[in-house]
């Protein structure tokens, strides 16, 4: 049988046991003890089963070799075959598929112990946060009942002052308005032209990245909004940026601080020994991860009922969920620990030219808490990184850096003040109740009534048997309760104002006084009143910038997910997209020096005042464009008037002015001549009109005279005609007389 060359992996311990005393349970427990080491034992192992007395235990993977003297040799690290060795060399491989179970068990036990210690170090922080959830007053609480033995009086008030809740809600609203604008949170700054990126490419990259976060990754905005609430309340929150194997695209999801287990003695994420993300994973999601190849395809059994910490218990109490009611087995979530740590794994040691260096390398280890089985072990450094530094996929959003890893939030800043105001409010309400419904003491003789409760309704009365007591005031005495004085009310108001000032929720009276107050004075008032808020905004801006860098790295590793998800104006391909990412500078669109919209408006007002104070030094159009942008006007371009014509040189301007003067002189002379001609025309028209009137009068007179002459002639003609007719009649009469005479004379015959 041929022997193979020995490798450092072959230097694993081997155990000699008598034949017949080796059981599977013994095989599993053997690595926990210190077995005797048999040096120089060479073993040939076939992948398909026993060869020459060698067999592989299916549960542990140990090689069992029969010896000539009746014993066996157990090799707990048998050499892997060539295919597995090649797969293990892949930088992104799941090494849990290649590490033997004994080593995986050792890793799981060490990590679980370390995670437990890390969780215990933040116990006080968790309890403070749980108490802060109660101080928010999100759960309706009825006045205390007398059935509770701890209650001092019936109907005692349970109201809570909203100082903490108001501060958290204001912070969330301001932070959301600045970090999550409607058009998208990403801005691509001016690019270096010599790197091959132009304005159109930069604009397309910016628009498509914002489209991805607002439309494709629909969970980004509501998830970040929820993160901001927890940052303001608890002091810190985390974003986890990674390539999701189920959604097959880069994802940036918030992680509640209670679910990220880090030792409170650590300073930051990079310098922490362990960073553990506790994930409550549905069985279906766990199975999807196994089918996607992210986790080992092994059975984990049924999950145990989860043990809630103080924060989870208070959240469940606020939501009205009873955590003691165990869900059905198939509905229970698996508690998955995703631990980012440094390990020195047998068989995968860090080596140099001299051999193993003993350096612990960064890994990502995923295990199931209940079954204590490892699902994933992957290298957590870049393949081209010679220093093998750990990759960080978490981003910490901080309110105020604190004494430990977990930062200071409004619950720490305003918790005690809210407690004091809550107690004061309750005292005020209880004092009012005592004033309206006073308690009293009564003599035993006067108390022999049908009932000891003497409640007098409005306009009513209750009879009392005095039993020989003459004065009713001697039978019943009201308790000497004291009313709340003005000093106490003023004290409560001072506490509230102090809390608002410290928590950044004080009202800023910038609208009072003169309306023409200098903008510098107003800005000074704003800055003085919002120093804390401005510092927090700078921290959030830096965290979001870091988040976008991690998102950029994820896109660089998986460009196809972006090309598949975004259909913009530009037809992206993988090479062009990666090149654009390399040359691009992706930053938040928010201004780190402007924490609120009020600051932005006051800066715009100051810019306008500067332009008016120094005319000509600034471009008025550029100032107006900047002011409209700061005010949030989207369609500012349509508001501008058409551009003025270009300015000429001074000589041309002088000549043009001279020409304008000459032109004006000519226009004036022309106007005078035109006015003179108009006057002459007017006079001529008037004369012509007068002559025309005279001519018309003469013509009319002539026509009148002609008409009279014609009438006279007609009359004469009529008279002449009449005369002619008379003469004719006379002639006819004379002729008739002559004819008659002639006939009578016989000269003419009869007619």
518 has pLDDT over 60? no
* pLDDT band of 504, cuts 50, 70, 90: low
- The pLDDT value recorded for residue 327 is 65
CA-nearest of 301, 514, 255 to 394 is 255
Domain membership of residue 44 (yes or no) is: yes
The residue behind tokens 């690019």 is: 191
241 has pLDDT over 70? yes
* pLDDT band of 671, cuts 50, 70, 90: confident
- The pLDDT value recorded for residue 13 is 42
Range of the domain at 56: 8-79
Helices (H), 197-334: 199-211, 220-234, 283-291, 310-319
pLDDT by residue (tens digit) across 540-573? 999 999 999 999 999 999 999 999 888 877 888 8
Cβ(610)–Cβ(619) below 8 Å: no
- The pLDDT value recorded for residue 595 is 62
Rg (CA), the chain: 53
Tokens of 556: 């660089």
Domain membership of residue 640 (yes or no) is: no
Mean pLDDT is lowest, of 291-300, 482-491, 547-556, 640-649, for: 640-649
Q: What is the pTM of this model?
A: 0.68
Domain membership of residue 629 (yes or no) is: no
- The pLDDT value recorded for residue 713 is 84
User: Three-state secondary structure along 143-178?
Assistant: CCCCCCCCCCCCCCCCCCCCHHHHHHHHHHHHHHHH
Percentages (nearest 5) of helix, strand, coil residues in the chain = 50, 10, 40
CA-nearest of 400, 417, 532 to 163 is 417
Q: What is the DSSP letter of 236?
A: E
Q: Report the percent of the chain where pLDDT is more than 70.
A: 75
Cβ(362)–Cβ(380) below 8 Å: yes
Mean pLDDT of the chain: 79
- The pLDDT value recorded for residue 542 is 94
Domain membership of residue 229 (yes or no) is: no
Mean pLDDT (whole number) for 109-133: 93
19 has pLDDT over 50? no
pLDDT by residue (tens digit) across 211-235? 999 999 999 999 999 999 999 999 9
Number of structural domains in the chain? 1
Q: Report the percent of the chain where pLDDT is more than 90.
A: 31
pLDDT by residue (tens digit) across 317-338? 777 777 656 567 777 889 999 9
- The pLDDT value recorded for residue 240 is 96
Domain membership of residue 659 (yes or no) is: no
Give dist(CA 73, CA 62) in Å, integer.
Answer: 10
- The pLDDT value recorded for residue 190 is 59
Tell me which of 188 and 455 has the higher pLDDT.
188
Domain membership of residue 19 (yes or no) is: yes
Mean pLDDT is lowest, of 598-612, 667-681, 687-701, for: 598-612
* pLDDT band of 259, cuts 50, 70, 90: very high
- The pLDDT value recorded for residue 2 is 39
- The pLDDT value recorded for residue 310 is 82
536 has pLDDT over 80? yes
Domain membership of residue 30 (yes or no) is: yes
- The pLDDT value recorded for residue 120 is 94
Written as one string, the DSSP assignment of 89-142 is HSTT--GGGTS-HHHHHHHHHHHHHHHHHHHHHTHHHHHHHHHHHHHTT-S--P
* pLDDT band of 15, cuts 50, 70, 90: very low
Q: What is the DSSP letter of 296?
A: -
Mean pLDDT (whole number) for 613-617: 80
104 has pLDDT over 80? yes
Tell me which of 8 and 671 has the higher pLDDT.
671
* pLDDT band of 677, cuts 50, 70, 90: confident
- The pLDDT value recorded for residue 87 is 78
- The pLDDT value recorded for residue 423 is 87
User: Which residues have a Cβ under 8 Å from the Cβ of 548 and sit 6 or more positions away?
Assistant: 186, 586, 587, 588
Q: Partners of 339 in the beta sheet?
A: 276, 365
750 has pLDDT over 80? no
Domain membership of residue 43 (yes or no) is: yes
Mean pLDDT is lowest, of 5-19, 167-181, 293-307, 373-387, for: 5-19
């Amino acid at each position: 049988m041929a022997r193979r060359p020995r490798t450092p992996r072959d230097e694993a311990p081997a155990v000699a046991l008598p034949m017949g005393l080796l059981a599977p349970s013994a095989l599993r427990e053997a690595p926990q003890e210190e077995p005797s080491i048999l040096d120089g034992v060479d073993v040939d192992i076939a992948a398909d089963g026993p060869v020459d007395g060698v067999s592989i235990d299916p549960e542990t993977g140990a090689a069992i070799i029969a010896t000539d003297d009746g014993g066996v040799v157990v090799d707990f690290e048998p050499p892997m075959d060539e295919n597995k060795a090649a797969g293990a060399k892949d930088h992104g491989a799941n090494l849990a598929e290649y590490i033997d179970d004994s080593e995986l068990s050792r890793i799981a036990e060490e990590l679980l112990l370390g995670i437990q210690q890390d969780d215990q170090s933040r116990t006080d922080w968790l309890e403070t946060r749980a108490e802060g959830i109660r101080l928010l007053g999100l759960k309706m609480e009825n006045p205390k009942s007398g059935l509770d033995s701890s209650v001092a009086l019936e109907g005692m008030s349970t109201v809570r002052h909203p100082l903490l809740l108001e501060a958290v809600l204001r912070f969330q609203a301001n932070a959301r308005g600045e970090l999550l604008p409607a058009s998208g949170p990403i801005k691509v700054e001016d690019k270096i032209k010599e790197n091959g990126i132009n304005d159109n490419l930069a604009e397309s990259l910016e628009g498509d990245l914002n489209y991805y976060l607002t439309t494709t990754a629909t969970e980004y905005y509501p998830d970040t909004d929820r993160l901001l609430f927890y940052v303001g309340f608890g002091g810190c929150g985390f974003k986890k940026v990674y390539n999701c194997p189920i959604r097959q695209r880069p994802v940036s999801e918030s992680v509640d601080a209670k679910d990220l287990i880090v030792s409170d003695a650590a300073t930051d994420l990079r310098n922490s020994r362990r960073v553990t993300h506790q994930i409550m994973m549905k069985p279906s999601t766990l199975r999807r991860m196994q089918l996607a190849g992210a986790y080992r395809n092994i059975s984990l059994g049924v999950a145990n009922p989860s043990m809630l910490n103080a924060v989870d218990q208070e959240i469940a109490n606020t939501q009205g969920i009873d955590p003691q009611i165990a869900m059905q087995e198939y509905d229970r979530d698996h508690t998955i620990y995703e631990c980012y740590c440094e390990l020195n794994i047998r068989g995968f040691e860090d080596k140099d030219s001299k051999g193993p260096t003993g350096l612990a390398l960064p890994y990502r280890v995923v295990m199931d808490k209940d079954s204590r089985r490892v699902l994933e072990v992957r290298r957590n450094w870049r393949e081209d990184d010679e220093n093998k530094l750990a990759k960080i996929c978490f981003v910490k959003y901080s309110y105020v850096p604190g004494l430990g890893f977990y930062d200071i939030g409004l619950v720490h800043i305003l918790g005690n003040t809210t407690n004091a105001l809550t107690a004061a409010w309750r005292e005020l309400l209880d004092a009012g109740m005592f004033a309206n419904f006073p308690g009293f003491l009564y003599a035993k003789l006067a108390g022999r009534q049908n009932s000891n409760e003497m409640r007098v309704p409005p306009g009513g009365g209750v009879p009392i048997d005095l039993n020989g007591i003459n004065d009713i005031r001697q039978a019943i005495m009201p308790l000497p309760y004291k009313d709340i004085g003005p000093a106490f009310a003023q004290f409560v108001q001072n506490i509230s104002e102090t809390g608002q000032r410290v928590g950044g929720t004080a009202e800023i009276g910038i609208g009072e006084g003169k309306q023409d107050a200098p903008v510098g004075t107003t800005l000074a008032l704003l800055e003085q009143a919002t120093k804390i808020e401005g510092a927090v905004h700078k921290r959030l801006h830096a965290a979001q910038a870091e988040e976008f860098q991690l998102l950029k790295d994820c896109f660089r590793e998986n460009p196809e997910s972006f090309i598949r998800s975004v259909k913009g104006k530009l037809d992206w391909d993988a090479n062009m997209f990666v090149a654009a990412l390399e040359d691009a500078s992706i930053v938040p669109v928010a201004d780190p020096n402007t924490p609120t919209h009020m600051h932005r408006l006051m800066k715009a007002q100051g810019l306008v005042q500067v332009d008016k104070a120094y005319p000509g030094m600034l471009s008025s159009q550029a100032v107006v464009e900047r002011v409209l942008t700061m005010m949030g006007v989207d369609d500012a371009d349509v508001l501008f008037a058409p551009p003025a014509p270009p300015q000429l040189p001074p000589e041309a301007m002088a000549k043009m002015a001279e020409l304008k003067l000459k032109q004006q002189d000519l226009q004036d002379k022309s106007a005078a001549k035109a006015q003179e001609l108009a006057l002459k025309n007017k006079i001529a028209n008037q004369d012509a009109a007068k002559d025309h009137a005279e001519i018309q009068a003469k013509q009319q007179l002539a026509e009148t005279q002609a008409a009279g002459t014609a009438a006279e002639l007609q009359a004469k003609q009529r008279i002449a005609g009449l005369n002619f007719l008379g003469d004719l009649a006379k002639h006819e009469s004379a002729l008739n007389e002559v004819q008659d005479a002639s006939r009578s004379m016989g000269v003419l015959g009869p007619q």
